[in-house]
Structure 1
Amino acid sequence: MKKINWGIVGCGRIAAQFCEDLAYTNNGVAYAVAARSGEDATAFASKYGAANAYEGYQALFDDKNVDVVYIATPHNFHFKNASDAIKASKHVLCEKPITVSAEECKQLSLLAKKHDVFLMEAMWTYFLPAIQKAKQWVEQGRIGTIKHVKADFGYPVPFNPDGREYNPDLAGGCLLDMGIYPLAIANYFLNNDLENLHVRANIRYKGVEDDVLITANCGDVMVSLATSFQCRLGNGAYIIGDKGYIKIPDAFRAYECSLYELDDLIERFEDGRQSQGYSFEAQEVGRLLSENKRESDIMSHSQSLLLQSQMERIKALF
């Protein structure tokens, strides 16, 4: 099997974790790295075994040996970086949030279709085996009809007015950074939009939120979601039905999940993985490209647009 050549855009923490996890796939390698600083790109490429390093992103997009680009720059650069890659006929896996507005998300989807390239938001959680197992249990009717979904994700982020997390010019705030995960969990298991949104948010600095609580419903299903830069939350998810429930500890990296009937543990799944978890989305992208697919059924363009639309509606209620 020919391995696909990944071009890595950005040299931050997430890009490093992604490159480390490529070693646990059998269909892709880190081939090239680009950063604003050529020195940073060279050091990163050397560390992760990439053959080429570029100062500036366009040179990577123009490299004919790059098959697919992984974009790991700050949120507000995603739209431009992804657009430039697509215009260079590169397939794209873009870190979440794929854009910072629903309109940008629509434009990016249309651009990918125009240039006939693959595009996916890197919602890695969806591809984790424990999340897939939980989804299977729901589809098998193991918990009956879903009645409640609860999910939260938060940890302390020290206040730094110059840091990305609290900078409004860099699309800072806990909603886009971490709140997207609980929202994504709700969407994945409910397969529908949220209604009757009620939002409480603490605004910390220049309109940037550091705590958000969301309640809503999806038809008859009650939904409770939370995210925070102020404290570590439970960071888990519960999918609760009228016959039982599924508990997913540390749901956004999800090493395991458990199935309960009332208070009785019926089944437990552990994935036993060695990677951090990014390997599963990377492996899936490689598989889809080998089949000449242009979109994922698991994380589709419409799923990304739904997330962006929801976050816009939530922010409007701050």
Structure 2
Amino acid sequence: MADHISAAAPRDAAEAARAAFAAAADKPFPKDIFTAPQLKWAVIGCGVIANQMAESLALAGRRIYGVENRTREKAVAFAERHGVERVYDTPEELYADPEVDAVYITTPHNTHIRYLRGALSAGKHVLCEKSITLNAAELDEARALADAHGVVLMDATTILHMPLYQELRRRAAAGEFGRMNLAQLNFGSYKEYGDLTNRFYNPALAGGAMLDIGVYALSLMRLFMESQPTEVVSLGNLAATGVDEAAGIVCRNAEGQLGVVSLSLHSKQPKRAVISFDRCYIEVGEYPRADTATIVWTADGSRETVGCGEEAYALCYEMADLEAAVAGNAEKRVLLDYASDVMELMTQLRANWGVVYPEER
């Protein structure tokens, strides 16, 4: 029995990514992902997610052109590991390079606006990791800069880019599922209290459940709602450091569609989403980078498995969407509107709980 429980236990994100890359390593890369003209990319930051992007791109036979990092030694090691051509000493040197078309920002949440200001003002397109900014005011500023300089800004939250959700939303819009009534989303991690200076609990690093894992749940909820929720009630528990540790959230929009979200940084929960419609409900496990969902039909209880995309290419989809948006794809450009709606919700929720970061004081 214990072996069965262990085998079924959810993997952490890094382990899941390694397994996904291994599963895709010997497959031909799909020809329908990168369809727009290729841009030359540089990355700021070379932590876990930047390494995953480089590994994901390698499956497509592509490489990042340049890298900048606060610690040059790490940038050099990253460049050697992934065949990156340029290592910059400063972000300003990166911004000034005319060879760079687009910048991928992977640094901690509370540094994003600084790099967004520099990159957008230099006329670079930007893909920025979640949480794209600390709050709605920062995102409004970044959007204004992108508009002023005629470049594309895109949120890298995987939910916005996975083909599975694009396919399910297409079918929903076509009326197959009937009216969407309720979205229920869980996401729980177990992070030890031992070191409260780590990024999960440290307010100086914009810690807390909302910006780390809540962005996934709220993004998926918002994608399937007809409009932004206008009513929000919640309870949030704070860690000893003052950041949000756990929360229960209920939202409703003008159409009467409900969203129910539970989050925790100190209790393991399945990453499980259930989107309920008149004619069916859709269940998605491990939903941040999901490539498979199950539809359970109301009339007879029959089950339909939907597969679309592949987890290993999650970060390629992000980059491909930005390139498509730069090429004029209006459907990809509107993804930032969903990100803004989510950021407004997260900002409101943190304000309700009294979670304020040093940069916001």
Q: CA deviation at 1:97?
A: 1.5
Which AA in structure 1 matches 2:257? V
Q: CA deviation at 1:248?
A: 1.2
Q: 3-state SS of the aligned residue for 2:63?
A: strand
Divergent runs of 4+, >6 A: none
Of 228-237 and 77-86, the range deviating more from structure 2: 228-237
**d(CA) in 1 for partners of 2:153, 2:133:** 12
Q: CA deviation at 1:98?
A: 1.3
Contact 1:118–1:295, Cα closer than 8 Å, also in 2: no
Q: Which residue of 1 aligns with 2:172?
A: 138
**d(CA) in 2 for partners of 1:247, 1:68:** 35
Of 134-143 and 100-109, the range deviating more from structure 2: 134-143
Deviations 1:36-92 (A, max 9, x none): 111110000111111011232221111111110000000000001011011111110
Structure-2 change in CA distance of 1:295 and 1:270 (3 Å): closer
Normalising by structure 2, we get a TM-score of 0.82
Q: Tell me which of 161, 172, 180 is aligned to 1:127.
A: 161
Q: Which residue of 2 aligns with 1:250?
A: 286
Contact 2:169–2:224, Cα closer than 8 Å, also in 1: yes
Structure-2 change in CA distance of 1:191 and 1:258 (3 Å): same
Of 96-105 and 132-141, the range deviating more from structure 2: 132-141
Q: Which residue of 2 aligns with 1:106?
A: 140
Q: Which residue of 2 aligns with 1:198?
A: 233
Matched length? 315
Q: Which residue of 2 aligns with 1:269?
A: 306
Structure-2 change in CA distance of 1:279 and 1:3 (3 Å): same
Q: Which residue of 2 aligns with 1:171?
A: 206
Structure-2 change in CA distance of 1:248 and 1:15 (3 Å): same
**d(CA) in 1 for partners of 2:96, 2:44:** 13
Q: Tell me which of 229, 232, 241 is aligned to 2:265.
A: 229
**d(CA) in 2 for partners of 1:109, 1:156:** 34
**d(CA) in 2 for partners of 1:293, 1:205:** 45
Contact 1:124–1:281, Cα closer than 8 Å, also in 2: yes
Contact 1:126–1:298, Cα closer than 8 Å, also in 2: no
Q: CA deviation at 1:294?
A: 8.8
Q: CA deviation at 1:296?
A: 3.0
Contact 1:119–1:294, Cα closer than 8 Å, also in 2: no
**d(CA) in 1 for partners of 2:166, 2:202:** 35
Is 1:58–2:57 an aligned residue pair? no
Q: Which residue of 1 aligns with 2:8?
A: none
Structure-2 change in CA distance of 1:238 and 1:170 (3 Å): same
**d(CA) in 1 for partners of 2:226, 2:45:** 32
Higher strand share: 1
Which AA in structure 2 matches 1:313? Q
Alignment of 1:296-307 (within 5 A): 296-300=332-336, 302-307=337-342
Contact 2:219–2:339, Cα closer than 8 Å, also in 1: no
- Which runs of 5 or more structure 1 residues have no equivalent in the other structure? none
Contact 2:291–2:311, Cα closer than 8 Å, also in 1: no
Structure-2 change in CA distance of 1:2 and 1:135 (3 Å): closer
Q: 3-state SS of the aligned residue for 2:215?
A: helix
Contact 2:40–2:99, Cα closer than 8 Å, also in 1: yes
Structure-2 change in CA distance of 1:55 and 1:294 (3 Å): farther
Which AA in structure 2 matches 1:176? L
- Which runs of 5 or more structure 2 residues have no equivalent in the other structure? 1-35, 354-361
**d(CA) in 2 for partners of 1:272, 1:144:** 24
Q: Tell me which of 63, 66, 70 is aligned to 1:32.
A: 66
Q: CA deviation at 1:222?
A: 2.1
Contact 1:202–1:210, Cα closer than 8 Å, also in 2: yes
**d(CA) in 1 for partners of 2:167, 2:332:** 18
Q: Which residue of 2 aligns with 1:216?
A: 251
Q: Which residue of 2 aligns with 1:189?
A: 224
**d(CA) in 1 for partners of 2:275, 2:244:** 27
**d(CA) in 2 for partners of 1:239, 1:170:** 33
Q: CA deviation at 1:288?
A: 2.6
Normalising by structure 1, we get a TM-score of 0.93
Deviations 1:129-165 (A, max 9, x none): 2112221221122221111111122211223222111
Q: CA deviation at 1:175?
A: 0.4
Compute the RMSD of aligned alpha carbons.
1.9
Structure-2 change in CA distance of 1:254 and 1:298 (3 Å): farther
Contact 2:167–2:308, Cα closer than 8 Å, also in 1: no
Q: 3-state SS of the aligned residue for 1:192?
A: coil
Contact 1:142–1:244, Cα closer than 8 Å, also in 2: no
**d(CA) in 2 for partners of 1:81, 1:17:** 20
